[in-house]
Amino acid sequence: MIAEVIVDVSAYPIDRPFDYLVPASITAVIEVGSRVKVPFGPRKVLGYIIGLKEESELDRSKLKPIDELIDLEPVISTELLNLSKWLATHTLAYEIDALQVMLPAAMRAKYEKVIVVDELEQIEDEAFKRFLAGRKRIPLKEAEASGLLTTVKDYVKQGIITVDTAIRQQTAVKKVRMIQIADKETLETLLASIQQNAKKQMELMNWMIEHAGETISAKQLMEQSGIQAAILKAVIEKGAATEELAEVYREPELPQLKDTAIPVRLTEEQAVALARITDSFDKRKPETFLLHGITGSGKTEVYLRAIKHVLDQGKEAIVLVPEISLTPQMTARFKERFGPLVAVMHSGLSSGEKFDEWRKIQRGEVKVVVGARSAIFAPFENIGLIILDEEHESTYKQEDTPRYHARDVAIKRSEYYNCPVILGSATPSLESYARASKGVYSLLTLSKRAKDQELPAVTVVDMREELRNGNRSMFSLPLADAVRIRLEKGEQTVLFLNKRGFSSFVLCRDCGTVVECPNCDISLTYHRANERLKCHYCGHEERVPLQCPQCESEHIRFFGTGTQKAQEEIAKLFPEARVIRMDVDTTRQKGAHERLLRQFSEGQADILLGTQMIAKGLDFPNITLVGVLAADTTLHLADFRAAEKTFQLMTQVSGRAGRHDLAGEVFIQTYTPEHYAIELSKAQHYEPFYQLEMAARRQYGYPPYFYVTLVQFTHEDLLKVADYAEKGTRFLKEHLSQHTVIIGPTASAISRVNNRYRYQCLIKYKKEPKLTETLQQLIKIYRTDWIKSGLIMTVDVEPASIF
DNA sequence: AGCACGCCGACT
DNA sequence: GTCGGCGTGCTC
């Protein structure tokens, strides 16, 4: 038998199957989708079996045998295998990358070189003998650390030892010591025979008698009995208990949140939406629904009931949320409703925890997965429903290879399983809404809030006016007053600061110089905590200068408003207010996010101040005021989605206020109050916004009227990058059809990152059958030729942004 | 991507 | 003479 294997090497000439002989010993168990260890050139690598056959085009003598079968059961189903193939073609990625992205990181191979000593007797070098200490397989690293590399080399040359590659899985199954306590009689006999001075052992025995016959983990036993490990060991040796290692799942800690009551009745709109979805499911149609529901309209309840329906029919469901750790409340609701049938996958889990959740899915122990983007590859084999909540979120697009969009993968999988997909959002992406308008997706609308609450009253504050009136702080008078009222009433406020482009930077007030990163064309961000300037793109760090590097003036100081600055202003304006700040700095620690949110939900603070991360999912009854400190920062990004992003953000943020009994109020501070994205977000007027934005997109030829693909070139040398960008663009122009618009080459919006200059070329097309083929040709030229000069070229089909 | 092979300069 | 620099080419 011969196996076709995709090997774990991301390189252009390797991106195809290689044939291997299947040793007779494993022919009975080998399956497509299992991983193997194979010799590849002079080393060993991990590979995925994508096919089995009897004959190879190559001569059998050229084939090497598989070294080892790693999985007895396939880790990739045939459905996912085909999907990976599609993914690789569609996103122009290597097949190996498309395969790896489907598995938890813990299953990716880690390679380690190992010294193998066959005949210990042949070793004469004394120092090396001592180092080996009788061992036959030792990591090469250890020899290196002991300075024995030359000795190893000599022995390898003499053929006495060899160097092999060991493939190590990052995390394996977690095991726990389980103690089975003996029966009462045995224990009592033992107790009688124990030495009188072994007080502790007697104590433990007595405890065990009370728990005779039970099985308990060693850790729990020690906690409950208050006995040390050494004592336990002694007692086990005497025969009072037996122990064995048992597989366990790491139980990720779930935040304790207040129970959200299950509403007895659905609103009419909810009921209609649910019926449409379950009907589609019953008819086994791969139908994609766009569930457009304003904030607070109860989309989640529709999801939950649709899932219930699917589970009752013995099928499985995948639920994607933008970044699950951001919405602990959402997770909690799923756990409440479906209990142990739910697996949770999010970035806050350790790689071991993710692996465990993955295994639960694969073994069919759970029926629902709630997770971030990569959960779309959950190894279910009987999917009945796929949900993307907040479908407009750009986090569904992976930023590095394979650059896939979870929405596309979801639809692809639904076609295989003949099941519905729900795309849910209060502010759908223009692409999705346009498709729904054209009937490609089925539109479901929830236009009323579930509990019949009013939408919050939104006030747009013109900050130019404030400035004219002499208010130079970041709080307008109306917002400051509103905060003060909340403090008096004991209600809570959420203050939102648009992070991007709004961090503090250092500016010379004499010559206007802004301190920039020496490696990137971007201003450095001021960090108060350690009085340093940092680059968010390359990580460069330096001290805050005391003099302007340009004019040597001493009037150089930080400017602008990060969350730290905002916190200081709050402290000045409202000294009595208790503030929780949530940004990258305060949430870096594991679990910090949940902790801060819990504190806020328990009323331990009056004001929650944060960035992007607080825009979603927050749902606390006592929040009656939301303030957006500067709405226009996302508006001026050099991206065709800038207005859409702003509208979405404003709507999401406003939706945080007054979701329960108390009425909500929202203040949006801006320097461009007349912009339609801001104006229309006030009353969540999605439809008019959609119309206006579509007109703009049509005029400039952007999605959804055109598809966009971005080709980016980076190089240390400005002249070279311009040159290659020109060559690449010319190639595309020559090979793509006449109707396709090619813009560029142009310098990217951030023209230098990490000392590399960036150029790009934008391809806009309605229908371009030759696109994939042409891009593949371009990539081939790049891989075989241009790459040698130090150029890096990337292709992003339908990018999330075009910086 | 790694890794070996191979062909040139620098140093014991 | 040998060590080691990295250009070139291959991996079933």
The answer to whether residue A122 scores a pLDDT higher than 70 is yes
Residue A42: nearest nucleotide (C-alpha to C1'): B3
- Band of residue A594 on the pLDDT scale cut at 50, 70, 90: confident
Mean pLDDT of A415-443: 97
**Distance in angstroms, CA of A149 to C1' of B8?**
26
Residues A55 and A202 in one domain: no
Q: Is A236 helix (H, G, I), strand (E, B) or coil?
A: helix
Residue A643 falls within a domain, yes or no? yes
Task: Kindly report the CATH number assigned to the domain that includes residue A728.
Answer: 3.30.70.360
A362 touches strand B (CB under 7 A): no
- Structure confidence at residue A187 (pLDDT): 84
Show which of A419, A446, A473 is a domain's final residue: A446
Residues A409 and A319 in one domain: yes
Q: Is A251 helix (H, G, I), strand (E, B) or coil?
A: coil
Residues A426 and A473 in one domain: no
Residues A284 and A355 in one domain: yes
Whether the CB-CB separation of A566 and A609 falls below 8 Å is answered with yes
**Distance in angstroms, CA of A61 to C1' of C9?**
21
Task: Kindly report the CATH number assigned to the domain that includes residue A85.
Answer: 3.40.1440.60
The answer to whether residue A256 scores a pLDDT higher than 70 is no
User: Which tops the pLDDT comparison, A122 or A443?
Assistant: A443
The answer to whether residue A278 scores a pLDDT higher than 70 is yes
Show which of A196, A217, A247 is a domain's final residue: A247
User: Which tops the pLDDT comparison, A587 or A75?
Assistant: A75
Span of A80-89, A409-418, A443-452 with lowest mean pLDDT: A443-452
Q: Exposed, middle or buried by CB within 10 Å (0-12, 13-18, 19+), for A444?
A: buried
| Total structural domains within chain A | 6
- Structure confidence at residue A113 (pLDDT): 84
Strand A792-797 versus strand A707-715 pairing type: antiparallel
Mean pLDDT of A645-666: 82
Distance, in Å, from the CA atom of A280 to the CA atom of A441, rounded to the nearest integer, reads 12
Residues A239 and A339 in one domain: no
Distance, in Å, from the CA atom of A125 to the CA atom of A131, rounded to the nearest integer, reads 10
A761 is annotated as contributing to ligand binding: no
Residue A552 falls within a domain, yes or no? no
A538 is annotated as contributing to ligand binding: yes
Residue A255 falls within a domain, yes or no? no
- Band of residue A199 on the pLDDT scale cut at 50, 70, 90: confident
Distance, in Å, from the CA atom of A646 to the CA atom of A716, rounded to the nearest integer, reads 34
Whether the CB-CB separation of A575 and A586 falls below 8 Å is answered with no
Whether the CB-CB separation of A412 and A98 falls below 8 Å is answered with no
Residue A783: nearest nucleotide (C-alpha to C1'): B1
Residues with CB under 7 A from strand C: A 9, 11, 13-14, 18-21, 38-41, 56, 58, 62-64
How far lies A404's CA from each of A92, A102, A380, A395, in Å? 10, 12, 19, 11
Provide, rounded to the nearest whole percent, the portion of chain A with pLDDT above 90.
47
Supply the DSSP symbol for A514: B
Instruction: Report the helix count and the strand count for chain A, using DSSP H and E.
Output: 24, 34
**Distance in angstroms, CA of A126 to C1' of C1?**
29
- Structure confidence at residue A257 (pLDDT): 39
The answer to whether residue A425 scores a pLDDT higher than 60 is yes
Mean pLDDT of A164-187: 77
Residue A242 falls within a domain, yes or no? yes
Plot region of A759 (φ>0 → left; ψ -120 to 50 → alpha; else → beta): beta
- Structure confidence at residue A254 (pLDDT): 47
Residues A688 and A756 in one domain: no
Mean pLDDT of A215-244: 83
Q: Which of A234-248, A639-653, A765-779, A789-803 has the highest mean pLDDT?
A: A765-779
**Distance in angstroms, CA of A8 to C1' of B1?**
9
Length of chain A: 803
Residue A764 falls within a domain, yes or no? yes
Mean pLDDT of A672-688: 89
- Structure confidence at residue A507 (pLDDT): 72
A551 touches strand B (CB under 7 A): no
- Structure confidence at residue A237 (pLDDT): 84
- Structure confidence at residue A748 (pLDDT): 85
Distance, in Å, from the CA atom of A145 to the CA atom of A52, rounded to the nearest integer, reads 43
Task: Kindly report the CATH number assigned to the domain that includes residue A435.
Answer: 3.40.50.300
H helices present in A133-288, as ranges: 140-145, 149-158, 184-193, 199-210, 218-225, 229-238, 268-282
Residues A609 and A732 in one domain: no
Residue A11: nearest nucleotide (C-alpha to C1'): B1
Mean pLDDT of A34-47: 93
A78 Cβ contact partners less than 8 Å away, ≥ 6 residues apart: A32, A33
Residues A84 and A115 in one domain: no
Backbone angles phi, psi at A412, to 5 degrees: -60, -45
How far lies A356's CA from each of A171, A192, A274, A368, A504, in Å? 10, 44, 32, 15, 41
The answer to whether residue A285 scores a pLDDT higher than 70 is yes
Residues A190 and A67 in one domain: no
Q: Is A497 helix (H, G, I), strand (E, B) or coil?
A: coil
Residue A715 falls within a domain, yes or no? yes
Residue A14: nearest nucleotide (C-alpha to C1'): C11
Angle between helical axes of A299-312 and A328-338 (0-180°, round to 10): 30
Show which of A659, A678, A697 is a domain's final residue: A697
Q: Which of A124-128, A679-683, A719-723 has the highest mean pLDDT?
A: A719-723
Span of A73-87, A192-206, A255-269, A650-664 with lowest mean pLDDT: A255-269
Residue type, A410: A
**Distance in angstroms, CA of A113 to C1' of C8?**
25
* 3-state percent helix, strand, coil for chain A, nearest multiple of 5: 35, 25, 40
Residues A218 and A237 in one domain: yes
- Structure confidence at residue A261 (pLDDT): 52
Taking only the tens place, the pLDDT of each residue in A62-83 is 999 999 999 989 999 999 999 9
Supply the DSSP symbol for A523: B
Provide, rounded to the nearest whole percent, the portion of chain A with pLDDT above 70.
93
Stated as kind and residue range, the H or E segment containing A176 is strand A174-181
Residue A791 falls within a domain, yes or no? yes
Taking only the tens place, the pLDDT of each residue in A328-364 is 677 888 888 998 999 998 877 888 889 999 999 999 9
Domain containing residue A335:
268-446
A419 is annotated as contributing to ligand binding: no
H helices present in A655-794, as ranges: 676-681, 686-700, 718-735, 771-784
The answer to whether residue A638 scores a pLDDT higher than 90 is no
User: Which tops the pLDDT comparison, A28 or A452?
Assistant: A28
pTM, whole model, 2 decimals? Answer: 0.85
Residue A2: nearest nucleotide (C-alpha to C1'): C12
- Structure confidence at residue A262 (pLDDT): 60
Residue A518 falls within a domain, yes or no? no
Residues A748 and A616 in one domain: no
User: Which tops the pLDDT comparison, A289 or A535?
Assistant: A289
The answer to whether residue A255 scores a pLDDT higher than 50 is no
HSE-up of A394 (CA within 13 Å, CB side)? 14
User: Which tops the pLDDT comparison, A617 or A704?
Assistant: A704
- Structure confidence at residue A785 (pLDDT): 82
Taking only the tens place, the pLDDT of each residue in A487-516 is 999 999 999 887 654 456 777 777 777 787
Distance, in Å, from the CA atom of A288 to the CA atom of A415, rounded to the nearest integer, reads 10
Residues A394 and A407 in one domain: yes
Residue type, A329: Q
Taking only the tens place, the pLDDT of each residue in A764-789 is 999 999 999 999 999 998 988 888 88
User: Which tops the pLDDT comparison, A210 or A86?
Assistant: A86
- Band of residue A635 on the pLDDT scale cut at 50, 70, 90: confident
Residues facing A532 on adjacent strands? A527, A543
Span of A386-390, A462-466, A591-595, A738-742 with lowest mean pLDDT: A591-595
A535 is annotated as contributing to ligand binding: yes
Residues facing A421 on adjacent strands? A288, A386
Strand A18-21 versus strand A64-65 pairing type: parallel
Sheet arrangement for strand A241-248? A215-217, A174-181, A241-248
The answer to whether residue A737 scores a pLDDT higher than 60 is yes
- Structure confidence at residue A169 (pLDDT): 64
Q: Is A432 helix (H, G, I), strand (E, B) or coil?
A: helix
Q: Is A710 helix (H, G, I), strand (E, B) or coil?
A: strand
Distance, in Å, from the CA atom of A220 to the CA atom of A243, rounded to the nearest integer, reads 13
Sheet arrangement for strand A707-715? A741-753, A756-765, A707-715, A792-797
Average pLDDT, chain A: 87
